[in-house]
Amino acid sequence: AMSTEEDKTATPAVADGYKEQIMAKVEEAKAKFLVKMDALAEVDQIKMIAEKAQQPPKTVAMGLTGVGIFVALMFALFAVGMKMLLELSVYIPAVIKSIKAIESKEKDDDTELLSFWVVYCFFTICDPLIGMVFFWVPYFGLVKFLFLQYCYRFKGTLLITKTVLKPLYAKITSAMK
């Protein structure tokens, strides 16, 4: 039997030649990248920036490429991924609180959380429709996040339940009778 120290440092078995294949592909990609950087370093604007910065043109080309990639990744995070991060920052604490509420014997926290989940599910199900209606509102995702935070943190769903959901439920059930 191997000791605990050996378990932490043991490397998994790799098929013969697999590591060499991967390293060859990495070197090939690196060579292609450097060729593109050499070509980019020949652009007049890059040469002008390199001259003013007193740096080799290839270094400036690599730096501008890195900045471009960074800006693209930040745009992807904030424009696309931020919605998911905001929703998870509401969802995860609510799940944790729900599990605690299930384990507790009090009824008040159950009612509060059920109201929250009804509102949250409404927003999740209606999100495509709401997005089409409010696409023109700048930072609508942030507004939705703030609303859901209000519902979760400040018991806003109880107000929504009393003023919107219960009257709507009463109308729907009376129309069904």
User: Are the CB atoms for 165 and 118 separated by under 8 Å?
Assistant: yes
Nearest to 143 by CA among 126, 131, 132: 131
**Ordered DSSP codes for 38-54:** HHHHTSHHHHHHHHHHT
Name the residue type at position 59: T
User: Tell me: the pLDDT tens digits for 136-173?
Assistant: 877 777 888 888 888 888 888 888 888 888 898 899 99
Q: What is the pTM of this model?
A: 0.50
Does residue 2 surpass a pLDDT of 70?
no
User: Tell me: the pLDDT tens digits for 18-61?
Assistant: 888 888 999 999 999 999 999 988 999 989 999 999 999 999 99
User: Tell me: the pLDDT tens digits for 88-123?
Assistant: 888 888 899 888 888 888 877 788 888 889 888 888
Both tokens of residue 104? 């507790």
Give the C-alpha separation, 157 to 18, whole Å: 56
